[in-house]
Amino acid sequence: MRPRRFRIAFGATVLALAVAPLSVIARVDRVALADWIYTVEVAAGEHTSEGTKTTAVHALGSVIQRVSGTRDRPLPSDLDVDRENIDRYFTRTSFVSRPDASAPDEIERYMSIELDPSAIVELVRKSSLPVWSAKRPVVVLWLVVEGEAGPVRLADKRIDEVLWLAVTRRARERGLPLVVPLGDVEDRSLRVPELARAGLWIPILEATQRHSGHAVAVARFSETAEAPCLATGTFLYAEIHVPFKLTESSLQRCGNRLVDSLANALAERQAVESRQTASVDLEVSGVGTALAFSNLISYLRQWEFVDRAEVLRVQGDVFVIRVATAAPPRKLERLLGSEGLLRPTTAALTADHEYLLHMHWLGDR
């Protein structure tokens, strides 16, 4: 049997036109908390003190890459990890055993580690790496497969296991919240011949809303003689429209690079470069109660790139809050508004040339 060859293709123009009336892709950034990015599970090494340390350092490096969004950039050679006191970065460790996926009769031992977010962010910033908040967009990735003889269909977890495992495992490695709708589970109404034509995009984009997605990518796989796996496509999120073209030697490599392209595009837009902090003032209206004020301050402090938040003055339900952050004012405004709890209104320079961002608090509605 000759090896199967695949091609990923997007109807970029049609997709862009179809997006406009749909609320699933907003013109502003939208995110949700993915706190699991600070937990990692790695194969346990030797059951010795040194073996445990080696495993822990590997886990730490994995989470640093998730938090910084820098898989394609090597970690600094002088990364200041206190190997002898590695426990200071952890909140919980445990060992679990489960059957080996490739050999069910064999038992494999894993070390599950929960890391302290504040300690990790501090380490990332000291290493001059960017900080990508754990509040990230949920990407709905639609995989459309055209077999040699069968109809166009959504990917099936059983039939297309290599592809499904490639994208889901890589998304976990990159800290990318990913939903992959499968034809054998949901959205069977989309498995129709019309998927091969332009009409594909409207039903898929509408169906994306059912999966609570903030971003969408639609990939179509078909056989080609051009390469073992040729991937061309586009990705849509807020104002991002990223086309790409990838050629790889296997379907697994194509899936990995596809996910890397999505994660890299989001990290580039959302990660905050580590640099000296500056002060940005927020004038926030709609803070009418003590509870609303408490919730607002708590919300600001949840963001990894906000170091401090202090009240400068209060007038009625309007609070002026000074935020110490490494984020540029416009990026700060965009990110703070991405959960829909703070609505940006205007921005201006003050008399002393500091930014004043005007926002409205919606978190207590």
Sign of the alpha-carbon torsion through 122, 269, 364, 209: negative
- Find the helix or strand (DSSP H, E) in which 167 lies: helix 161-174
- Find the helix or strand (DSSP H, E) in which 142 lies: strand 139-146
> In degrees, to the nearest 5, what angle opens at C-alpha 83 toward C-alphas 79 and 85?
125
The residues, ordered by sequence, that sit 6+ positions from 131 with a Cβ below 8 Å of its Cβ are: 67, 68, 121, 124, 125, 271, 272, 274, 304, 305, 326
- How many Å is the maximal CA-CA distance in the chain? 75
The CA–CA distances, whole Å, from 8 to 46, 146, 251, 288 equal: 42, 10, 10, 52
Report the C-alpha gap between 121 and 207 in whole angstroms.
Answer: 36
Measured in whole angstroms, the distance separating CA 70 from the mean position of its chain's CA atoms is 12
Instruction: Give the per-residue pLDDT at 240.
Output: 82
> In degrees, to the nearest 5, what angle opens at C-alpha 165 toward C-alphas 51 and 184?
145
183-189: long-range contacts (C-beta < 8 A, 24 or more apart)? 183/153, 183/154, 183/155, 183/156, 184/156, 184/157, 184/158, 185/157, 186/210, 187/154
The dotted CATH code for 278-361 is 3.30.70
Report the C-alpha gap between 79 and 66 in whole angstroms.
Answer: 15
3-state secondary structure (DSSP) of residue 9? strand
What does residue 216 show for φ and ψ, rounded to 5 degrees?
-140, 140
AA identity, residue 73: R
- What does the DSSP 8-state code read for residue 211? G
6-29+135-270, what's its fold?
Rossmann fold (3.40.50)
The residues, ordered by sequence, that sit 6+ positions from 6 with a Cβ below 8 Å of its Cβ are: 221, 222, 223, 224, 228, 229, 230, 251, 254
Residues facing 220 on adjacent strands: 9, 144
The residues, ordered by sequence, that sit 6+ positions from 346 with a Cβ below 8 Å of its Cβ are: 358
Instruction: Give the per-residue pLDDT at 336.
Output: 96
Instruction: Give the per-residue pLDDT at 239.
Output: 81
The CA–CA distances, whole Å, from 163 to 291, 352, 362 equal: 48, 55, 41
Residues facing 285 on adjacent strands: 360
Residue closest to 62 by CA, chosen among 191, 175, 179:
175
Report the C-alpha gap between 145 and 154 in whole angstroms.
Answer: 6
- What does the DSSP 8-state code read for residue 184? T
Crossing angle for the helix pair 161-174 and 251-270, to the nearest 10 degrees: 30
Report the C-alpha gap between 293 and 265 in whole angstroms.
Answer: 34
**Local mean pLDDT, 10-residue blocks, the chain (365 residues):** 44 43 58 92 72 78 90 64 76 79 71 89 88 95 71 76 91 95 58 46 70 83 69 79 80 90 93 89 95 96 94 95 94 94 79 77 85
Report the C-alpha gap between 25 and 30 in whole angstroms.
Answer: 9
The residues, ordered by sequence, that sit 6+ positions from 283 with a Cβ below 8 Å of its Cβ are: 318, 319, 320, 356, 357, 358, 359
Cα atoms in the 13 Å half-sphere on the side-chain side of 224: 20
What is the domain partition of the chain in residue ranges? 6-29+135-270, 35-126, 278-361
